Amino acid sequence: MGNVDYPTEPRTGRDRQVYDKDLVRQVAGCVAFDPKTNKFLVISSSKHQDVWVLPKGGWEDDETKEQAAERETYEEAGVRGTLKGLIGSFMDYDISGQPKSNVWFFELEVEHILNEWPESNFRQRKWCTLEEALQYLRFKPFMQKAILASSFGKK
């Protein structure tokens, strides 16, 4: 992740969001894996109680997909590490079946777990086995697919 110093407050708003030619919002996130414990990271949803998700958020026009994935993982989950590569892009659909966002997931090998992070006042995080992560992500099938497509999910 280099020596990037992120602000203590998360970015907000969608003024700088990247959209594709069909006006689908572009989002970046990480499948974060701690090689010391062989555990995956899931975080509490900011919108739905008792729903767990992978860290992800809007890709903005002043950063690369990779930078957005690292930033969002820091802001939402308080972890830093090394990106190991792109897993792929996964479409997220709204309740009516329309494309809501195209999510670019990267593998992140966790190196630092912070005690405080920008969204620590309203997000929880859990470290879990592959099977537990898949269960926690049961409401987000595209996130389950991302974990299973990662090299971490094949161990």
Give the model confidence (pLDDT) of 1-24 as tens digits.
455 676 666 666 667 889 999 999
Give the model confidence (pLDDT) of 20-35 as tens digits.
999 999 999 999 999 9
- The per-residue pLDDT for 16 is 85
Give the model confidence (pLDDT) of 108-125 as tens digits.
999 999 999 999 999 999
Q: Residue 106 pLDDT more than 70?
A: yes
Q: Residue 154 pLDDT more than 90?
A: no
3-state secondary structure 76-90: HHCEEEEEEEEEEEE
This prediction's pTM: 0.90
pLDDT tier, 49 (very low <50, low <70, confident <90, very high otherwise): confident
Give the model confidence (pLDDT) of 52-105 as tens digits.
999 999 999 999 999 999 999 999 999 999 999 999 999 999 999 999 999 999
- The per-residue pLDDT for 10 is 64
